[in-house]
Amino acid sequence: MNLKDKKFTRTSHVALTSHSNQIFKDTPKIVWGESDPEKRGPVIATISEKENRNAIGSHSGSYTVYRALSIASGDFPKDHKPELDNTQGTYAVKPSPSWFDAEKIVTIDPFGADINLHFPKLLKEGYNIKPSIAVTQAHLHIPEVQAAVKAGKLKVDGKVVKEDGSVKCTKVALEPVWNLPGMAKRLNIDEGELRKILFQETGGMFPELVTRPDLKVLLPPIGSTTAYIFGNPDDLQKPEIELTCRVHDECNGSDVFGSDICTCRPYLTWGIEDAARTAQNGGVGLIVYFRKEGRALGEVTKFLVYNARKRQEGGDSAKTYFHRTECVAGVQDARFQEFMPDTLNYLGVKKIHNLHSMSNMKYDAIVAAGIEVVNRLSIPDELIPADAQVEMEAKKAAGYFTEGNIKDEEELKKVQGRDLDE
């Protein structure tokens, strides 16, 4: 029977996903790193057709739980198949050699955008293949950028910066698609150990991690990534064209609400301004935004750390900045920047002329991925909020890249943040 002629519905009984007989023998196999899309195979993680699944987890990352609630409440059709007419990207990312290297990209499916182009035969046969990447256009209205326009620091050209002060860009949304063997190799750990700990530390969420070693791809329920491109996206793959880049990890309190205890929003808006300026000058700008709130430790943990910092003896001090995080969370940082360059490799970036980042972890990861970095830029002093001086001086003292002075231990003790009641 042709799959397209079969009506798929969820049964009332519970089918354990760990059973190998839930998978058809002719389910397309995934050969990670294969250059031919048909030989590589599609990632099929749709729930409506469980028999065709060749990956662990489900599409939409952290939103899978909301989809489950919608189904449970009767608001979501159990046999829904997305209608993808007119959803194709406004720009097609051109394949680069990184796409076909099993070790260069291990957290993104490079074929996840143009599924109609890559897998027409399987789609025609009725396989429910969903995109994991989407591309569109946007105008960004950002007060700090509009202020830069009014101050004459950023000109209106009608192409990149519009008359109303908005900035035009191309947006690329990328869901996480993890190739477990590649991730294990990059972390220099055994794949079996990685699968076991992922299973245990998620409360046994995905039993296939330990029962189905034949399934090598996991769609984890975590936040996605968005790339914002200013100028011609094709220029990202041309090392001779100037590229200004900011790799930014989510900080909702600062990025959205303007909390001044950190430099996240100023760093982000300054990066957008400079990326737009570079595009106006014949180059290209890139902002990569990762949903890794609170150094991937979460916002609850972050707020607990804020309280601990403010209430400790001596007040909020640059000297104890990292220590308080580790005391509460058990680790200073869980972002695993080793995987961050995958997005850059997907876009075909080979050279970054201006990297807006003080982080050595980010810089080292980018360079280790084979991407050249010419200039590193730290945030200008005038953009640092007063309460964020604690963070900034602590990072400088810890060895973060800076173009300014580094305070000694006694000077660090004098860098204090606001009290909680101020």
Q: Strands 225-230, 167-174: parallel, antiparallel or unpaired by DSSP?
A: antiparallel
How distant, in Å, are the alpha carbons of 3, 4, 42, 48, 219 from that of 80? 15, 13, 19, 7, 19
How distant, in Å, are the alpha carbons of 78, 255, 370, 416 from that of 249? 35, 10, 21, 25
Q: What's the pLDDT at 102?
A: 95
H or E, element range at 222: none
Q: What's the pLDDT at 8?
A: 43
Give the integer Cα–Cα distance in Å for 258 and 270: 14
171-187 pLDDT per residue, tens? 999 999 999 999 999 99
Q: What's the pLDDT at 409?
A: 67
Phi, then psi, of 8 in degrees rounded to 5: -100, 125
Give the integer Cα–Cα distance in Å for 94 and 96: 6
Q: What's the pLDDT at 12?
A: 54
What is the rounded average pLDDT for all residues in the chain? 89
349-404 pLDDT per residue, tens? 999 999 999 999 999 999 999 999 999 999 998 999 888 888 888 787 777 777 77
Give the integer Cα–Cα distance in Å for 289 and 318: 27
Phi, then psi, of 244 in degrees rounded to 5: -105, 130
6-44 pLDDT per residue, tens? 444 555 555 555 555 555 556 899 999 999 999 999 999
For the chain, the straight-line distance linking the first and the last C-alpha, in angstroms and rounded, comes to 70
Active centre residues (catalytic): 333, 335
Phi, then psi, of 217 in degrees rounded to 5: -120, 135
User: Going from the N-terminus, what domains does the chain have, and what CATH number goes with each?
Assistant: 3-131+178-216 (no CATH), 135-174+222-414 (3.40.50.10990)
The whole-number average pLDDT for the span 132-150 is 97
